[in-house]
Structure 1
Amino acid sequence: MKIAKLSVYRPIAMSMVIIFMLIIGAVSMRSMTVDLFPELTFPVVAVTTTYNGAGPEEIENLVSSPLENAMSTIPNVESVTSISTTGGSLVLVSFAWGTNMDFASLDMRERIDSVRDFLPPGANMPRVLRFNPSDLPIVQLAITDPSGEMTKAKQLAEQEIEPQLNSVEGIASISVEGGAENEIRITLNPNAMSSFGISIDQLQQMLAAENLNLPGGSLTDQNQDLPIRITGEFTSIFDIESLPIPTPNGVIQLSQLGEVKETLQPTTQLSYLNGEPAVGMSILKQSGSNTVTVANEIEKKLDEIRKTLPDGVEIKPIFDQSEFIKKSISAVTMNMLLGSLLAAAVLYFFLRNIRSTLIISFSIPISIITTFIFMYFTGQTLNLLTLGGLALGVGLMVDNAIVILENIYRLRQNGYSLKDAAIEGTSEVGSAIIASTLTTVVVFLPIIFVDGLAAQLFKPLALVISFSLLASLFTALIIVPLFSSLLLKVNNKSSKFEERYSGFINWYTGMLEKALRNPKKTVMSIVILLLISLIGIPFIGKEFLPHQDQSFISMNVRLPDGSSLDATYDVMEAVDEELQNITEMDLTFVTVGGSDNFSFSSGTQANRASYNILLTPVTDRNRSDKVIADDIRERLKNIPGVEISISSGESGVSQNPVSLNITGPDLSTLKAMADETVELLEGIEGIREPSSSYTEGNPEIVVDIDRIKASQFGIGSAQVASAVSNATKGVVATRMARDGVELDVRITIEDTYTASIENLERLLINTPTGENIPLQAVASVKRDQGPSQIRRTDRNREITVTADIVNRDLGSIIDDVEKTLKENIYIPSNEYKITIGGQDEQMNDAFFKLGGALALAVVLIYMVMAGQFESYFYPFIIMFSVPLTIIGVITGLLVTSQPLGVGSLIGMLILTGIVVNNAIVFVDYVNLMKKDGKSTWDAILIAGPTRLRPILMTALTTILGLIPLTLGFGEGMEIQQPMAIVILFGLSFATIITLILIPVVYYQFDSYRERRKIRKSEKIEV
């Protein structure tokens, strides 16, 4: 080929090009963003709004329904789900994959503007929020103080640590949780208040009016214009205690009405690190920023901050996503290096020539560097999937180079000069390797037309493998001939290996000749082997994405609604005692009063505790995070009155493993069906923690105001509500500045009135006439059950039942779920439905789309080969190698107990493009021999032994290069492992069978064509 000739005769120019490319590649690699996964865009947008005081049914009718109607008319909307709860509405709009989410968000804002006037007065303006996995924290920290003074720890976190961390480039936001803050609390004596005839409202106004610094104009003194400042701010507790309070009975000091002291603010959230009080910090990065770089900069800044901290105060990392990324990338890199060494060992084993091995070995880093250049200029990031694509491509990178080098080496042994062997050897097989490379690259073309989560994840991997193959083609056609013409040295001395290899060649030639003489037996044997492998299909499980062990477990503990913070803390101590028996646990960070997923009435839930459990690294323990999580479930199942949910390996890109959507018009019927479903799921093997989204709501005290009685005393509902609120939670009257810190000044009443319902009924309310009346005179006080949230999907009410899975594949469990529900659940009418969503829905969607991509890839491969051979006949023969991969794929999945998932399907897609390469090289050489005048029989018997070595070398380099990934060494290898298993086993079986079957098929079809030509010529002569 001309390009090889140019390379051989212009070595200095080509060397300069190579050096320039290496420099550009190194710069590109250092400039690339490092992340866990490729940048993902989810087609889901949320609309949130609040309407204080309204119950779920009011929210559903007045807020959620108008928003649902508006969102449903937007183009490309697939479903609209609303969650209505006390005081707020959340509407989730799901769009079709591939929708431009920027324009979709604009459409939503326009529709919201159009229905704004139909929302009730008092409802806040709805907000539009996008979902993105990058919104999850990349770093979580805990600040501990040995003195146990959490007020200082929180001040330190908010006033010193957070501002300094905010200066780190790439940080989007920082949130602080836990800890405590001081306040000035004025605890009033209700009897004293009554006797002096003063109300909380009056006292609040006095405190706010007295705690002021005001400008008082200016005056001129000694030719100077001086501003006047009137100071009246409180500077100490004494200033508040001694504040004069005018009353109908004369002026008194505030201290006569109650006690004034500095204390801790009422808290609804507590945080602990390994059982010790702590303050938590969660750090989010900006979209598109480098996770590892941001995390490294955070660590550098923390090292600076630690030097300035008070003695004993510590900042400990709870979770650092960059650590998992770095370990995963390190594992992939080590697997690449190990694969490269194994590939080099194969080369040396076959060629027994160190220079030949070095030539091929040099081609690997050059191909990798060239791949990085392609990646950089196409905007790819370094992540688990792109680096996994490089690891998968290491074995493939040398295939082209091996074929060319082996051909050059053979011509040198036949007496060609270095330059002539390099040029002729490249020209002889150049078209074949171009065709084989294109057949592998073209299999990824259908992925461009596939949408969904799987496509977003694996498109970068497909691009990287394509780049690596094109880079390897470049090195094979240019670099290998160049190095061969300069460095190749042929060893013509016979060795034991050559003698043994000659014996192997003779054995293979005999097997090939025997197969050609007995075509029916050969084909039938392979067909029987294929049928036997198909029997194993029912024993292969199914999954969406493999579970990833990130050495991190999250756990949520929930007590009955209405449980106090103290009750939750007591349960936390019991849980902590059990967790001490988990030897693989490194640290635990727990937040008591953990945040609720969807709550508008309050920011936290006192009846919940959320745990972040950091495990020791994967290499330092014998049990996976899934097994440890299940062990924790068993240990905690006997704690009474507690619901515990545990999850591990969460990547933020997939839904719940089991998710059942129960829809219908009547909420009570849906609840009954959901409860029965949960009970049935508990009996299915492998299912853990089935739960329903339906909640009864919190127990509450209802104060029902009698407006007629209230009006007789001259008071209204607002006055009653204010009196009750002030008595139960107090009111912040003003703030006092001290030492650069502002403290709330809170007015409360002695807890006499909040000790029981009976005491609350005796709460005194001031009337306009100055009379104090008990609450029970104008309202009834009773205990009640608060309303639950209402969920709707596409305007139908819905309850979702979710569950986790352990020790079984998703497909088998879903089959059992469908069977169990079909046999046991009674569905009242056609208005009620149970549909399966979650990972099963994602899996089925991915299987359907990737299955179509696989079928299209087969067609594209045939078209590429037809164009290369300028014939429909030879590509048809080569395509017989594709079905043979099924034998290896099924065997590999069964032997490794690996379920069929998205990774496996991507592996099959890659395998389809690889497996035809050997057949292409073989058929191309047979055609070359036939052009030289050989018969089909002789051409096959010459091509088989001649092409055996490059076929075995390319196959073995690919297979051995994949062994590290197949074994799953290191962290983060779970996604690449299924792909490697499919390719390794599929290629192994297909290569062995191809060496026999393709020659037989070629000979039979070619003989049939010859006979047809003879018959046609005889008819013409007649």
Structure 2
Amino acid sequence: MTQLSIRRGVTTAMIYLIAIGFGLFSLTRLNIDLYPKLEFPMLAIITQYTGVGPNDLETVITRPIEEVCASVENVKTVSSTTQQGLSLIMIEFSWGTDMNQAEIDVRNNLEYIRDYLPQDASDPMVFAFDVSSQPILYLTLSSPDLSQAELRYIGEHDLEPRLERIPGVASASTMGGMKREIKVFADPMRMRAHNISLQQITGALQAANLQIPSGMVDNDRLEFSVNTAGQFTSVEQIASTSVATYNGAVIRVSDVARVEDGFTEQRQRVWNNNKPAVMVILQRQSDANSVTVCREVAKRMPAIEKELPSGVKVETMMDLSKFITQSMSNLTSTAWQAVLLTFLVLLFFLRNIRSALIVAVSIPVSVVTTFAVMDQAGLTLNIISMAGLALSIGMLVDTSIVVLESIFRHHDDKKEKLREAANNGTQEVGMAVTASTLTTLVVFIPVLFVPGMAGMLFRDMVITICFSLTISLVVSLTLIPLLASRILRIQKNLNPNGMAMRANRVISEWLDRLHTAYARALTGAMNHKKSVLAATFFAFILAVVWMFTAGGDFIPKTDNGFLAVSVDRSPGTSLEAMDKSMQELSQILKEKIPEADNIYANFGQGEGIMALFSSQNSAEGDVTIRLKERKDRKRSVFEIQDDLREELNSLPDMEVKFADRGEQLFSGADIIVKIFGHDLQKSEALANELEAKLEKITGIVSITSSIRKATPELRIDLDRQRIADLGLSAAQIGQVVSTSILGSTVTQFRDGGDEYDIKLQLDKKFRTSKEDLENILIMTPTGSQIPLRAISTIAYTKAPRAILREDQERIVTLGIDISGRDLRRVTADVKKAMKEVSLPRDFRTEIGGTAEDQQESFMYLGLALMVAILLTYMVMASQFESLVDPFTILFTVPLSMIGVAFGLMVTGTDMSVMALVGVVMLVGIVVNNGIVLVDKINQLRQEGLGLEAAIQEAGRVRMRPVLMTAMTTILGMFPLAIGSGESGETWAPMGRAVMGGMTVATVLTLVVVPIIYYYMEFIGSRANRFRKAREQRRLEKGIVHAEE
């Protein structure tokens, strides 16, 4: 391959130009997104039953759905949250499950029980989790002149259709404001006087609002369709609808009720910068480019605003594309910095700009060509894949450095012509660089099979690194020798007083001194082998101890420019009271956070899919603060949280905590303690006891109990014997009570092409107290009416705000958020506290949340590390055709662990999933220097040099390429290890782990590996002598026996 590429130079150049062209074309086709295409093996089922409490909802909706879903194939866990008016069931499947088939199976099972669910409940809605379906743009509508109802109408009828016509927009949905609704407020006093029931009013309105097709009329010339137009055309017609006839008089709706053209009862409110607003949320199509879609919306928005009523202002509350763009720009800048540092390292060691450019050309060629492979593989440009490219920058030149250094030696030392040197030099190290690249590639194979969040996140990064490294290997074996044979020239006849020559002399002198110092160090180490090995072993033990005892986190949180605050008031707090509290909190946040650009508040019941992410209680809400860009503020998101936490915790009648906007990707709180048991009172007592112990643990800043606050409830206990005697049923009574208090939609009113609900319920003044509830009239089959108190007992009680279940068992959770201390240590303290609590029979506790994700990811990545070491050994054994040499080289891995521990400890970085992935990467990187060194020792020994002489000479010859490849990798990681800019905190642990491990491993490889090689050869030679002596003795014994 090398010889052909040199001989057919033009052909080789054309092939690479074509590859680069495809790469640049593919770059324009790649979608830009924040995360890769993450397919969570989860489904959500949402069922709304407005006005029904958690206890009843659990019985009639949640449990039946759980039972049929648990039988679906590959279900791992079924968990649910049942709260006022809402049942949310989450089904987690095993990784690798076909989610399309799983969704079909779930829908089929739901069909079996659909007829058994309450008729007034919504149909269960099934949603598949898809990160790409998350909202990418939040817009707010406000106007000083228009009402909330008018703004809502503009959002739904004017803005939504225009936005949905923009290419790439999947849907636009409006939240907040009020909807028009025709209210029929019944008066129980007048109903009793006319002996009219709610069921009669419902039937009358439904019968009077019909359009009935009545056939065709043919007059021999024309044919006419006949339609009986019986639909309401005005609110007055609704009021004049006949309900019944009493003593010859017609009783109309207006005689027993008040009809009002009003609005739905507001259950959700939106505030933008302390002003009422309506929010419009945009979701993109799954194959659309988030950045392109948001830019297109911004481009068209001025024209759209002009078409809206005067005074309506549309503002961008949150634009996900900005964080994506900033993160990508930061990673691109990191990559360019890595390229520059790598080039400077090459220039420093090679002292020849042509040589440095020849090696450096492998970076753009490999990266650009990788874009074409990414496009064909269906990958996107996201922070994960871009981080893979940034990580690989320093490694892309490793094989090219070794090849070019070999070409140099053949040209300088063996006086070969450039073309001959290019071919022979590449052939000499071809197998070594191929094996070294394979060792780097195989370590990533186990990461691809890591299940869970870690494996899913790192898939794009691993694939990108593997693509680019494979291409760089081909480049080093074809393009590098071609360029070397054509344009490489050794610098001669330079001006001895020129700047270039002076710099050359300084670098040469420095490298000569480094060679001399290394030779002395290696000689000293060889003379004190046991001491060096003992010291190294001791350092390794200390590193391992530190790793197992140091702090540990899952994935470092990043400053995304948004601050999220969740608010919780006492159950039963009205929407009006919550409104006032949210305004006060927003004002405090505005004063305390000068970095705030926008403050948005949302509270009340979420609508549709947003019910997944919103509360269903008027006493709960969220505040989102959009901060100024990172460069325009001094404090990070985390510093602002720490500065405000104590003050917000002291607010009266309000529980305020900070939330992570990205936590829906993971498992919510940092640590979740789950208490399993059916008796909620006992579970609450256990939770309170445990919470008191947890509050004493350092690092815990907030604890949220799922059962701490109960919701006030009026409970109706029916006298079943009495209602049976009257010929009534519990369902009939429940329907009357529901219509009286909650109201029911009896029919629709059409106006100008739009359709509005007609809702029947008791007038507000007749449904405000327990006495009003007792006075609700129930009509018996005989036509008489009796009050509800005559057939039931009504009492004040308390119900849990939400009932949580997991695998069809009730649970109570304690959500724990931490700050100022690592997750691993806090989790260990939490487990100790859990053991101190005595559990009743049939009760148990478990740990969940991010802590569970961390433990699972650490376990699988630990297994991946062991498999990576095994695969690396196998590749090296195949290269060397030896079982001993690969074992010798593998000692570079524990040497790197010393550096990892040192690097993380010096920078104050906790061991995290990112750092652990860096450790896995190191397995394939650090052995490359060992391969180059051991391969040279073997070559020199085959040429006749003695063991120690070969070791000394190999160290001298390979020191420069070892240092060059190490320095390019180390400095290539440096911009990433700094962790500056958007999403920089995420990747810093990985960069620091690789930098620390590579630095220490490089130094120790040049000293310790020769000693280990020496001992391996010494043990091997002694074993050979022993084996030969044993065979000789056997031979002699055989001769003696033959003579006898």
Pair in the same fold by TM > 0.5: yes
Instruction: Give secondary structure in 1 for the equivalent of 2:689.
Output: helix
Aligned residues: 1017
Q: Which residue does 1:669 correspond to in 2?
A: 682
Q: Which residue does 2:137 correspond to in 1?
A: 139
Per mean C-alpha deviation after superposition, the further-off stretch among 834-843 and 704-713 is 704-713
In 2, the alpha carbon distance for the partners of 1:599 and 1:290 equals 26
Task: Identify if the C-alpha distance between structure 1 residues 706 and 248 changes in structure 2 by more than 3 Å, giving closer, same or farther.
Answer: farther
Task: Identify if the C-alpha distance between structure 1 residues 189 and 448 changes in structure 2 by more than 3 Å, giving closer, same or farther.
Answer: closer
Which digits, 9 at most, give the CA deviation of each residue in 1:2-33, with x for residues without a partner? x2221222111111101110111122222223
Instruction: Give secondary structure in 2 for the equivalent of 1:98.
Output: coil
Q: Which residue does 1:130 correspond to in 2?
A: 128
Deviation at 1:106, TM superposition (A): 5.0
Q: Is the 8 A contact 2:600 2:624 kept in 1?
A: yes
Segments of structure 2 that go 5 or more residues without pairing to the other structure are 495-500, 1037-1044
Which digits, 9 at most, give the CA deviation of each residue in 1:447-493, with x for residues without a partner? 24432221122232222212111111111111111111111121145
Aligned residue type for 1:464? T
Instruction: Give secondary structure in 1 for the equivalent of 2:815.
Output: strand
Q: Note if 1:549 corresponds to 2:562.
A: no
Q: Which residue does 2:377 correspond to in 1?
A: 378
Which digits, 9 at most, give the CA deviation of each residue in 1:620-663, with x for residues without a partner? 32333233234443232223232333212525332131011112
Instruction: Give secondary structure in 2 for the equivalent of 1:784.
Output: strand
Q: Which residue does 2:843 correspond to in 1?
A: 832
Q: Is the 8 A contact 1:85 1:599 kept in 2?
A: no
Per mean C-alpha deviation after superposition, the further-off stretch among 567-576 and 589-598 is 589-598
Deviation at 1:978, TM superposition (A): 1.4
The within-5 A match list for 1:631-780 is 631-655=643-667, 656-694=669-707, 697-703=710-716, 728=741, 735-744=748-757, 750-759=763-772, 761=774, 776=789
Matching residue within 894, 908, 921 for 1:897: 908
In 1, the alpha carbon distance for the partners of 2:18 and 2:707 equals 63
Deviation at 1:939, TM superposition (A): 2.7
In 2, the alpha carbon distance for the partners of 1:958 and 1:143 equals 51
Q: Is the 8 A contact 2:570 2:709 kept in 1?
A: no
Q: Is the 8 A contact 1:196 1:249 kept in 2?
A: no
Task: Identify if the C-alpha distance between structure 1 residues 45 and 724 changes in structure 2 by more than 3 Å, giving closer, same or farther.
Answer: closer
In 2, the alpha carbon distance for the partners of 1:113 and 1:717 equals 25
Q: Note if 1:513 corresponds to 2:523.
A: yes
Aligned residue type for 1:383? N
The within-5 A match list for 1:512-591 is 512-534=522-544, 536-537=546-547, 540-580=550-590, 581-591=592-602
Task: Identify if the C-alpha distance between structure 1 residues 569 and 108 changes in structure 2 by more than 3 Å, giving closer, same or farther.
Answer: closer
The within-5 A match list for 1:165-180 is 165-180=163-178
Matching residue within 93, 96, 99 for 1:95: 93
Aligned residue type for 2:630? V
Q: Note if 1:484 corresponds to 2:461.
A: no
Per mean C-alpha deviation after superposition, the further-off stretch among 426-435 and 636-645 is 636-645
Q: Which residue does 1:882 correspond to in 2?
A: 893
Task: Identify if the C-alpha distance between structure 1 residues 406 and 272 changes in structure 2 by more than 3 Å, giving closer, same or farther.
Answer: same
Deviation at 1:368, TM superposition (A): 0.6
Deviation at 1:197, TM superposition (A): 7.0
Q: Note if 1:802 corresponds to 2:802.
A: no
In 2, the alpha carbon distance for the partners of 1:81 and 1:266 equals 31
Task: Identify if the C-alpha distance between structure 1 residues 252 and 598 changes in structure 2 by more than 3 Å, giving closer, same or farther.
Answer: closer
In 1, the alpha carbon distance for the partners of 2:179 and 2:788 equals 33
The within-5 A match list for 1:419-430 is 419-430=419-430
The within-5 A match list for 1:2-21 is 3-21=1-19
In 1, the alpha carbon distance for the partners of 2:813 and 2:459 equals 32
Q: Which residue does 1:400 correspond to in 2?
A: 399
Task: Identify if the C-alpha distance between structure 1 residues 419 and 460 changes in structure 2 by more than 3 Å, giving closer, same or farther.
Answer: same
Which digits, 9 at most, give the CA deviation of each residue in 1:829-853, with x for residues without a partner? 4x32222122222222222221122
Aligned residue type for 1:275? N
In 2, the alpha carbon distance for the partners of 1:730 and 1:115 equals 25
Q: Is the 8 A contact 1:50 1:87 kept in 2?
A: yes
Task: Identify if the C-alpha distance between structure 1 residues 197 and 103 changes in structure 2 by more than 3 Å, giving closer, same or farther.
Answer: closer
Instruction: Give secondary structure in 2 for the equivalent of 1:536.
Output: helix
Q: Which residue does 1:467 correspond to in 2?
A: 467
Q: Which residue does 2:498 correspond to in 1?
A: none
Deviation at 1:364, TM superposition (A): 0.7
Q: Which residue does 2:1041 correspond to in 1?
A: none
Task: Identify if the C-alpha distance between structure 1 residues 199 and 515 changes in structure 2 by more than 3 Å, giving closer, same or farther.
Answer: closer
In 1, the alpha carbon distance for the partners of 2:545 and 2:520 equals 32
Q: Is the 8 A contact 2:596 2:626 kept in 1?
A: yes
Q: Note if 1:608 corresponds to 2:606.
A: no
Which digits, 9 at most, give the CA deviation of each residue in 1:209-260, with x for residues without a partner? 6666666777789966566666676555566678899775857997787766
Q: Which residue does 1:389 correspond to in 2?
A: 388
Q: Which residue does 1:918 correspond to in 2?
A: 929
Q: Which residue does 1:951 correspond to in 2?
A: 962
Aligned residue type for 1:623? R
Which digits, 9 at most, give the CA deviation of each residue in 1:706-753, with x for residues without a partner? 678779999877776666555545565655544544455556655432
Q: Which residue does 1:623 correspond to in 2?
A: 635
Q: What is the TM-score with the length of structure 1 in the denominator?
A: 0.90
Per mean C-alpha deviation after superposition, the further-off stretch among 966-975 and 701-710 is 701-710
Per mean C-alpha deviation after superposition, the further-off stretch among 253-262 and 27-36 is 253-262
Q: Is the 8 A contact 1:81 1:92 kept in 2?
A: yes
Aligned residue type for 1:461? M
Q: Which residue does 1:865 correspond to in 2?
A: 876
In 1, the alpha carbon distance for the partners of 2:249 and 2:880 equals 110
Q: Is the 8 A contact 1:269 1:604 kept in 2?
A: no
Task: Identify if the C-alpha distance between structure 1 residues 286 and 651 changes in structure 2 by more than 3 Å, giving closer, same or farther.
Answer: farther
Deviation at 1:984, TM superposition (A): 0.5
Aligned residue type for 1:659? I
In 1, the alpha carbon distance for the partners of 2:818 and 2:62 equals 33
Quick one: percent identity of the two aligned structures? 36
Per mean C-alpha deviation after superposition, the further-off stretch among 926-935 and 123-132 is 123-132
Deviation at 1:932, TM superposition (A): 2.9
Q: Is the 8 A contact 2:27 2:372 kept in 1?
A: yes
In 1, the alpha carbon distance for the partners of 2:107 and 2:230 equals 48
Which digits, 9 at most, give the CA deviation of each residue in 1:788-816, with x for residues without a partner? 65444345432222111112110010111
Q: Is the 8 A contact 1:625 1:648 kept in 2?
A: no
Q: Which residue does 1:455 correspond to in 2?
A: 455
Q: Is the 8 A contact 1:693 1:801 kept in 2?
A: yes
Q: What is the TM-score with the length of structure 2 in the denominator?
A: 0.88
Q: Which residue does 2:20 correspond to in 1?
A: 22
Q: Note if 1:442 corresponds to 2:455.
A: no
Task: Identify if the C-alpha distance between structure 1 residues 276 and 811 changes in structure 2 by more than 3 Å, giving closer, same or farther.
Answer: same
Q: Is the 8 A contact 1:626 1:648 kept in 2?
A: no
Task: Identify if the C-alpha distance between structure 1 residues 756 and 525 changes in structure 2 by more than 3 Å, giving closer, same or farther.
Answer: closer
Which digits, 9 at most, give the CA deviation of each residue in 1:51-70, with x for residues without a partner? 89987667667766666565
In 2, the alpha carbon distance for the partners of 1:732 and 1:865 equals 74
The within-5 A match list for 1:803-822 is 803-822=816-835
The within-5 A match list for 1:234-249 is 248=247
Segments of structure 1 that go 5 or more residues without pairing to the other structure are none
Task: Identify if the C-alpha distance between structure 1 residues 797 and 746 changes in structure 2 by more than 3 Å, giving closer, same or farther.
Answer: closer
Deviation at 1:177, TM superposition (A): 1.1
Aligned residue type for 1:361? A
Q: Is the 8 A contact 1:133 1:652 kept in 2?
A: no
Per mean C-alpha deviation after superposition, the further-off stretch among 693-702 and 217-226 is 217-226
Q: Which residue does 1:960 correspond to in 2?
A: 971
Task: Identify if the C-alpha distance between structure 1 residues 883 and 723 changes in structure 2 by more than 3 Å, giving closer, same or farther.
Answer: closer
Q: Is the 8 A contact 2:66 2:89 kept in 1?
A: yes
Q: Which residue does 2:148 correspond to in 1?
A: 150
Task: Identify if the C-alpha distance between structure 1 residues 102 and 212 changes in structure 2 by more than 3 Å, giving closer, same or farther.
Answer: closer
